[in-house]
Amino acid sequence: MTRVVTTVEDLRAVVAEWRGAGELVAVVPTMGALHAGHLHLVQAAKERADRVVVTIFVNPAQFAPHEDFDRYPRTLETDVAALRDIGAELAYAPTAADMYPSGHATSLAVTGPAEGLETDFRPHFFGGVATVVAKLFLRVLPDLAFFGEKDYQQLLVVKRMVADLDMPMEVVGVPTVREEDGLALSSRNAYLSEEERMLAPLIYAELQAAAERIVAGDNPEEVAAASAAALTRAGFAVDYVAARNAETLAPVRKAGEPVRLLAAARIGNTRLIDNIGV
Amino acid sequence: MTRVVTTVEDLRAVVAEWRGAGELVAVVPTMGALHAGHLHLVQAAKERADRVVVTIFVNPAQFAPHEDFDRYPRTLETDVAALRDIGAELAYAPTAADMYPSGHATSLAVTGPAEGLETDFRPHFFGGVATVVAKLFLRVLPDLAFFGEKDYQQLLVVKRMVADLDMPMEVVGVPTVREEDGLALSSRNAYLSEEERMLAPLIYAELQAAAERIVAGDNPEEVAAASAAALTRAGFAVDYVAARNAETLAPVRKAGEPVRLLAAARIGNTRLIDNIGV
């Protein structure tokens, strides 16, 4: 049984009851349109916590006017059914008017890991993410929060925000779930035509090949540039392919640094992102 | 006995012990240099809470490079002695390196009540205040926080921030404490020469006279402009005298709105602010 609450009062009442019983509470923030990747996050949360809250909120603050806020899939009924099947105790689905009431005037800004990459193409994105995630964390007051590594830069931004604001909780990254052909699961995959869907796994394939070349000793920046060129030749509009320090996302400066390869590319009207560790 | 802690671990251990005993915890954020106004805040906190934490931190993020960060008075020993006399249980005095460690990348921005007035003259001020107050609140995790009405715009900004981020706590404003001649207590009064100190109470006197004229039916904006002119004639460099909605700080639009009169003016190198309800 997955209970659905929409008000912060109901949410806090349930969480307070759990906490009163000494239970560990995890949150999995989502924008709904749940797929196997989200359910994997819930499973990871269930392994560490006694109770799991899944938040479902398509956050207007992280979409630019020209982006896909309106057409972003909203499937609350099937989302809740999926959460029930997997044993998530609580879904919290606030309205936009409840999250951002009239007079709302506070926002968060993150530099550091938020600089470059996604920010070059979606300048308002991480401010919107940091603000809504802070609000959700302070509404739920969880012990743990689970985010997918598929949005790797977002994971680092959220970790940074939680550390900087001294929120008494831990942010846990969970490895990306992929289709059999390697395509990272994403709610936006639903936008792809059959033809585009055939092309999409090439992003992951290129990242894997690039990682092998870097392990073999090739220069990370040159390898990333070559991968970007290969994706462009294959028909993608490439926003970036980049090799970065896996902890700070700063450019790779010396041998032995932990490296993460990150890519963003568009097929038709759909923008896909992926990343892997080297 | 006032215990002094400098680390978040020690702070949280003490607060957790109180909370485990079911006690209500209040915080009074200060920059030290405690005067009777601060001690009045502590007393107000003691009336509502079982335990009071006073934070002492001169926050570099809320000073612009040309402002008085370096010469701002730092008097930890006498501050702690004063807190002991008044029965505050805990002083939390973190270092700047602990509050803003290397890699710190998160800041808060508030619009709404933060717009105009102080922001026109100290554009970085409320961002710095909101960020450090959010950090302090999330370190202490209090039930209540006490701020002086002397920094009225700051009080509204902090209330807005706490509401917008859904922090589970209440922000309480405490009326301004004044010298016998009406001058609002402020750590910056210590900068005043004897001559400047004689002039300083005129700000409050002008605000009182202005409030009477508004109550008598005069136009609030015209009254505020006349007060600014009077202070200028008396030798002040006036940043603003303004009549604003007492809840939003928006311009006064209609009769019957709650009105707050706010002023900021410099004497020599010292900038003083004050405000009163109409």
Q: Give the tens place of pLDDT for each residue, B25-34.
A: 999 999 999 9
The 10 Å CB-count burial string (b at 16+, else e) for B240-267 is bbbbbbbebbeebeeeebebbbbbbbeb
Q: CA torsion angle for A37, A43, A46, A48 (degrees, to 10)?
A: -80
Any chain A CB within 8 A of the CB of B102?
A: no
Minimal-distance CA residue of chain B relative to A247: B103
CATH of segment(s) A187-277: 3.30.1300.10
CB contact under 8 A, B108 and A106: yes
The pLDDT assigned to A48 comes to 98
Q: A20-65, pLDDT tens digit by residue?
A: 999 999 999 999 999 999 999 999 999 999 999 999 999 999 899 8
| pLDDT higher than 90, residue B214 | yes
Closest by CA position to A153, among listed A182, A113, A106, A193: A113
> Concatenated DSSP letters for A143-164?
SEEEEEGGGHHHHHHHHHHHHH
Interface test with A, best of B106, B153, B156 (most A CBs within 10 A): B106
Q: A54-94, pLDDT tens digit by residue?
A: 999 999 998 998 888 988 889 999 999 999 999 999 999 99
The pLDDT assigned to A225 comes to 98
| pLDDT higher than 90, residue B1 | no
Q: Which residues of B touch A167 (CB under 8 A)?
A: 138
- Confidence band, pLDDT 50/70/90 cuts, at residue B68: confident
β-strands A237-245, A259-267 pairing? antiparallel
Minimal-distance CA residue of chain A relative to B140: A166
- Confidence band, pLDDT 50/70/90 cuts, at residue B272: very high
Percent of chain B residues topping a pLDDT of 90: 94
- Confidence band, pLDDT 50/70/90 cuts, at residue A255: confident
Q: A206-229, pLDDT tens digit by residue?
A: 999 999 999 999 999 999 999 999
Quote the minimal CA–CA distance from A166 to chain B in Å: 6
Any chain B CB within 8 A of the CB of A13?
A: no
The pLDDT assigned to A76 comes to 94
Q: How many CB pairs under 8 A join A and B?
A: 72
ipTM above 0.85, yes or no: yes
Any chain A CB within 8 A of the CB of B109?
A: yes
Q: Mean pLDDT throughout B48-66?
A: 95
- Confidence band, pLDDT 50/70/90 cuts, at residue A1: confident
Q: Which residues of B touch A105 (CB under 8 A)?
A: 110-114, 160, 164
- If one counts every other C-beta atom within 10 angstroms of the C-beta of residue A110, the result is 22
Minimal-distance CA residue of chain A relative to B104: A164
Chain centroid offset of residue B9 CA: 26
Q: Which residues of B touch A109 (CB under 8 A)?
A: 106-109
Both tokens of A204, joined, read: 């992951």
- If one counts every other C-beta atom within 10 angstroms of the C-beta of residue B85, the result is 10
The pLDDT assigned to B270 comes to 95
Helix B8-20 vs helix B125-140: crossing angle, to nearest 10: 50
Domain boundaries, chain B: 3-174, 187-277
Contact B12, B25 (CB under 8 A): no
One-letter identity of residue A258: P
β-strands B25-30, B51-56 pairing? parallel
Q: Mean pLDDT throughout B119-144?
A: 97
Q: Mean pLDDT throughout B141-167?
A: 98
Closest partner residue to B103 (CB to CB) among A108, A112, A166 is A112
Contacts of B17 (CB under 8 A, 6+ apart): none
Using alpha carbons, list the distances in angstroms from residue A21 to A8, A14, A16, A17, A51: 20, 11, 9, 6, 11
One-letter identity of residue B157: V
CA distance linking residue B73 with residue B58, whole number of Å:
9
CA distance linking residue A229 with residue A263, whole number of Å:
12
Any chain B CB within 8 A of the CB of A244?
A: no
Mean pLDDT of chain B: 96
The pLDDT assigned to B256 comes to 85
Q: Which residues of B touch A8 (CB under 8 A)?
A: 166
User: How many degrees, rounded to 5, is the angle at CA B215 between CA B209 and CA B217?
Assistant: 110
Q: Which residues of B touch A106 (CB under 8 A)?
A: 108-110, 130, 160-161, 164-165
| DSSP annotation of A60 | G
One-letter identity of residue A241: V
Contact A56, A31 (CB under 8 A): yes
Both tokens of B107, joined, read: 């800041």
Any chain B CB within 8 A of the CB of A103?
A: yes
- If one counts every other C-beta atom within 10 angstroms of the C-beta of residue A2, the result is 18
Q: Mean pLDDT throughout B174-192?
A: 96
CATH topology of domain B3-174: Rossmann fold (3.40.50)
CA distance linking residue B63 with residue B125, whole number of Å:
7
The pLDDT assigned to A30 comes to 97
The pLDDT assigned to A254 comes to 86
Instruction: Indicate which residues of B carry an active-site annotation.
Output: 38
Q: Which residues of B touch A161 (CB under 8 A)?
A: 106
The pLDDT assigned to B82 comes to 97
Contact B230, B217 (CB under 8 A): no
Minimal-distance CA residue of chain A relative to B163: A104
- If one counts every other C-beta atom within 10 angstroms of the C-beta of residue B180, the result is 6
CA distance linking residue A158 with residue A141, whole number of Å:
15
Any chain A CB within 8 A of the CB of B273?
A: no
Any chain A CB within 8 A of the CB of B250?
A: no
**Least confident window among A55-69, A100-114, A141-155:** A55-69
- Confidence band, pLDDT 50/70/90 cuts, at residue B134: very high
The pLDDT assigned to A210 comes to 98
The pLDDT assigned to A53 comes to 98
Q: Do the first three CATH levels of A3-174 and A187-277 match, i.e. the same topology?
A: no
CB contact under 8 A, B139 and A166: yes
Instruction: Give burial (CB, 10 Å; 0-12/13-18/19+) of B51.
Output: buried
